[in-house]
Amino acid sequence: MFSLLPTLVFLVSGLAPVLGQECADTSDLVPFWRAFNGAVTDHFYTTNVTEMENVAIAQDGYKLEGVSAFIWTTQQPGTTPLYRLYNQKADDHFYTMSSDELPEMQAAGWTNDTTPIAGYVYPFSVCGASPMYRMFNPTAVDHFYTMNIAEGEAASPSWVNQGIAGYVVLPSVNGSVVLNSSPTPFLAPVSATTSSCATTTDAVPLLRTYSSIGTDHFYTTNATEMNDVAIALDAYSFEGDATFLWATQETNTVPLYRMFNQNVTDHFYTIDANEVNEALGGGYAFDTSTHIAGYVYPYSICGASPIYRLYSSSASDHFYTMSYTESLSASGYVIEGIAGFALLPSVNGAAQTATAGASPFFLPVSLTPSATSVSLTLESALVTTAKPSMVTVPSGPTAFPGTIASPVTTSSGSSLPNSNGATAQAVASYYGVCCVAALIGALAFY
Ligand SMILES: *[C@@H]1O[C@H](CO)[C@@H](O)[C@H](O)[C@H]1NC(C)=O
Ligand SMILES: *[C@@H]1O[C@H](CO)[C@@H](O)[C@H](O)[C@H]1NC(C)=O
Ligand SMILES: *[C@@H]1O[C@H](CO)[C@@H](O)[C@H](O)[C@H]1NC(C)=O
Ligand SMILES: *[C@@H]1O[C@H](CO)[C@@H](O)[C@H](O)[C@H]1NC(C)=O
Ligand SMILES: *[C@@H]1O[C@H](CO)[C@@H](O)[C@H](O)[C@H]1NC(C)=O
């Protein structure tokens, strides 16, 4: 057994799992109703049944299209506000979780809607949540949101793909919620601007080294540890800069935890606190006093690119690279996903802010759905964002009057309205004026 010398095996022992596990309460989910007005080409979404029925449908000529998603009406662990804006001139309702986009959109003619927050969503894929895609039709000036990627594709090219608006819970045809369905990871969350980015010049190289004896990839920002311990004492070979990340927490970044398993000689890095807890129970321990290798973005913003995470079970080795090509050619390793997003290194030793195309096939790694890392994100992300007081929450799930059959009981025992119109998964395309009518006819909605 390869044995590491003292500094690298300085394990912070005796630590019980310290990180919480938090997901939003699925029994608090409510339908995010979707309606469309073909006369002005506007998609409208609300959790407020009265508003949908008495205002959108009765007064403004919108047609109900069913349940687009299930979301929360109060801020729950791991969730972030989905802001709602309206452009009266263009007749466009716009929804975003990016507070950076608010001033941009306001400058372009959108204003806070009567309800400035449509609900709460996860900013990335955790806790069984799936992506809600955002599309935009620049000619008709219409933002369109759907969880059905086929529907989104069918709406192209009139509506162009703008990424992921947030992660929410899929409806099913019987009105229950669907957790842990396969998200379709083709798009990064939408986040337009650079006003809430970590400072590029603060980014430091995460140095990469490898031990063929221990079959261990090891990463640190600490040049002394790299030179004096890993290379000089433990015979690791230096392999260059893996990425540029932050040594202290900056805007929108989250901790990248660092752990070590002495038995199998494996350094393991993750932003997912649930994984940290699992690893602590599975032979890994923190091997630095801070527990953290650095700070990274949890999703692709601000010119950050994906850090791919690979694992070799035969070598018991976690391997991290920003080179997608290298990830494909790493013999014996399987790609586990994206460990986080940070800045690309360049050959001259500086960080780059150009975003490399993320491989569309991988989501951020989260073996066990966890919102904890999201909570950590939100703490920093929300520092500059006032948390507006929320509207009164209806007590319990809301049934849509007149159009919804009797509630069904989910496995969790909560009663949710039967949303026969909630066909976001099943209907390939119900796009535009013609198809809305067809859909409603097909479903015998009225
Ligand atoms: C729902 O919409 C109605 C009609 O617009 C409004 O009067 C009411 O305040 C809304 N309820 C909530 C909880 O926002
Ligand atoms: C618009 O809404 C955002 C988020 O709720 C809030 O921070 C901001 O103060 C609002 N702006 C105006 C002009 O009401
Ligand atoms: C509703 O549909 C979901 C997903 O298809 C399924 O798992 C669940 O068992 C169904 N529930 C009922 C009450 O039929
Ligand atoms: C860097 O590594 C050296 C050697 O392991 C250690 O003594 C020092 O405390 C580390 N510095 C920081 C800032 O962690
Ligand atoms: C490491 O291996 C030893 C000997 O097999 C075992 O007793 C110990 O529990 C292992 N440690 C961990 C943390 O798995």
Question: For the ranges 180-189, 243-252, 435-444, which has the lowest average pLDDT?
Answer: 435-444
- For residue 115, the ligand closest to its alpha carbon is 1
The residues, ordered by sequence, that sit 6+ positions from 205 with a Cβ below 8 Å of its Cβ are 221, 241, 242, 243, 244, 345, 349, 351
Does 377 lie in the same domain as 336? no
What's the CA gap between 224 and 315, in Å, rounded?
27
Does 337 lie in the same domain as 235? yes
Does 259 lie in the same domain as 151? no
Does 275 lie in the same domain as 414? no
**Residue 369: pLDDT above 50?**
no
Number of C-beta neighbours around residue 406 at 10 A: 9
- Which residue's alpha carbon is nearest to atom 14 within ligand 2? 112
What distance in angstroms lies between residue 216's CA and the mean position of ligand 5's atoms?
18
Does 128 lie in the same domain as 100? yes
Does 254 lie in the same domain as 177? no
Domain membership flag for residue 444: no
What distance in angstroms lies between residue 316's CA and the mean position of ligand 5's atoms?
15
Does 289 lie in the same domain as 215? yes
Nearest to 4 by CA among 185, 197, 236, 192: 236
Domain membership flag for residue 79: yes
Looking at 309, 339, 362, the residue that finishes a domain is 362
pLDDT of residue 433: 22
Question: For the ranges 92-106, 218-232, 348-362, which has the lowest average pLDDT?
Answer: 348-362
Asked if 95 and 81 count as a contact pair (C-beta separation under 8 A), the reply is no
pLDDT of residue 179: 52
Rg of the chain over all Cα atoms, to the nearest angstrom: 24
Domain membership flag for residue 437: no
Closest ligand 1 atom to Cα of 48: 1
- For residue 406, the ligand closest to its alpha carbon is 3
What distance in angstroms lies between residue 27's CA and the mean position of ligand 1's atoms?
22
- Domain membership of residue 98 as a residue range: 26-187+369-428
Across 40-49, 267-276, 290-299, 328-337, the highest mean pLDDT is recorded for: 40-49
What distance in angstroms lies between residue 78's CA and the mean position of ligand 3's atoms?
26
What distance in angstroms lies between residue 79's CA and the mean position of ligand 3's atoms?
25
What's the CA gap between 117 and 390, in Å, rounded?
8
- Which residues, judged by CB distance below 6 Å to any ligand atom, belong to the binding site of ligand 1? 48, 50-51, 54-55, 115, 391-392
Burial classification of residue 314, based on how many CB atoms lie within 10 Å of its CB (0-12 exposed, 13-18 middle, 19 or more buried): exposed
What distance in angstroms lies between residue 224's CA and the mean position of ligand 4's atoms?
6
- Which residue's alpha carbon is nearest to atom 11 within ligand 4? 222
- Which residue's alpha carbon is nearest to atom 4 within ligand 1? 51
Does 374 lie in the same domain as 358? no
What's the CA gap between 281 and 274, in Å, rounded?
11
pLDDT of residue 427: 18
**Residue 82: pLDDT above 90?**
yes
What distance in angstroms lies between residue 52's CA and the mean position of ligand 1's atoms?
9
Cβ–ligand 5 distance for 263 under 6 Å, the answer yes
- For residue 54, the ligand closest to its alpha carbon is 1
Domain membership flag for residue 397: yes
Mean of the per-residue pLDDT values of the chain: 72
Q: State the total domains in the chain.
A: 2
Domain membership flag for residue 435: no
pTM of the model: 0.52
Percent of the chain with pLDDT over 70: 66
Does 179 lie in the same domain as 36? yes
The residues, ordered by sequence, that sit 6+ positions from 282 with a Cβ below 8 Å of its Cβ are 261
**Residue 92: pLDDT above 90?**
yes
Does 166 lie in the same domain as 210? no
Looking at 318, 336, 362, the residue that finishes a domain is 362
- The pick from 263, 264, 286 for probing ligand 5's pocket by mutation, whose C-beta has the most ligand atoms within 8 angstroms, reads 263
Closest ligand 1 atom to Cα of 394: 13
Looking at 315, 344, 362, the residue that finishes a domain is 362
Q: How far is CA 209 from the centre of its chain?
A: 30
**Residue 98: pLDDT above 90?**
no
pLDDT of residue 387: 22
Higher pLDDT, 104 or 292: 292
Domain membership flag for residue 436: no
Does 123 lie in the same domain as 82? yes
- Give 337's pLDDT tier (boundaries 50, 70, 90): confident
CA angle, 162 then 165 then 169, to 5°: 135
Domain membership flag for residue 281: yes
Closest ligand 5 atom to Cα of 282: 14
Does 349 lie in the same domain as 250? yes
Cβ–ligand 5 distance for 237 under 6 Å, the answer no
Domain membership flag for residue 108: yes
